[in-house]
Structure 1
């Protein structure tokens, strides 16, 4: 059998395998996108069409008033307000919490991996234990701590909670990433007279972009989608968007408006969707660059 014949057969098998692979990927992607498609279709129907039609039937005409109502008429408790203030609350919680927890995680990971000290392994083990503590376990002690600090039912209190709970994960990410950095690099910088923060700022941070992206995406997603801490530690005016969404879905006036509920759910998911769409490839690069190694 000639090399050309073998090459043609190999090329044909590769094409078949590629077609089969893409077919499987399209089927799986369609399966996972189905809930979003149903939500989007439902949000564009009126209430009567939802009641009389099927789940996957396309809307006879597009109705965008449900989106406006979800944005401006979300209900909390016994009164109705706009969902936009809760969006602002979520951003006021997410942005500082992500920044602080990422910075603390970077410094902790830098110290544990490149500046060994007595008890550093024990300290890292304690942080690992913190990653596996269920949310429900810390509700009561955290509530007492927030009350003692005078920041209960405030956005500052929620930022504090997410920083405390998230620093264990961010430290784990950065520590594993920094394990791949040669220790000799730090030793050489110390011999040249560079101090702790000089080395961190001029040598470590410039090579930390991939893991910073991973940490930011992870923390942003976890904090934005959080419901338990939001409902437990927020006040009436400081609730995040997830709590407002829950109140909207579980409150009805004169009939259940599923189109408004679906529109509100999509709006609440848009920030995390945008983060993954625009930064998803960097997330994968960061993981493969060492975020889960060590």
Structure 2
């Protein structure tokens, strides 16, 4: 028997013995997940940077201060990188310059915002092997998702601090909030085409991944950002943040895909329900 025949027999045996693992490996290999995560990270970065300038120009002082505290909590900013963030959000700059840069940032943020939402929706649709939803059904969902994401970012500082109790409560609370955010994200951007419960494995996995990355970011990112800023200036800081965002978005893409495969597994689907059960208010799908 040739090695090719042996390989085929081993593959057939594996498919019969471990169908979930076989399906998972096939889905991960064919889904271009790293590419999807990189595209999502780029779109999120293109939306976040001009939005930051818009917030600095037009948001009240309290909102700017809250955003600065949350970004510090997310990345553990210290030293030069924290000074750069302070300069961006500083309200003492020339009003005309701030309003001009803020208006440009707001226009750019609005232009790139739908691309960011569409990229996240496509990650969810690829995980569940669904076609694109109709634009008239999805357009308002893109806007709602972005506004909700901005709200969650603003709350990062108190959440991670456990609303004053400390990290011992903040870390579990961050995991619970993240699970809810990723569960709602999938349901919203999939246009109700998958019921809530089958989305739970992917939400839990995404929350676990992003919570772990949030904890490690506070240990790694401050030094990395300050070294990049010292060696390459603002460009180094941008590249470091983009690299971190690619890791986060890739982790979310993998988590959603793994969660979808697990939800389709017969044992788990008995408890969560079948993913292909259409929700009562599900809109019609576009043809692929």
| TM over 0.5, shorter chain | no
Larger radius of gyration, structure 1 or 2? Answer: 1
Say which structure is richer in helix.
2
**TM-score, normalising length: structure 2:** 0.29
TM-score normalised to the size of structure 1? Answer: 0.29
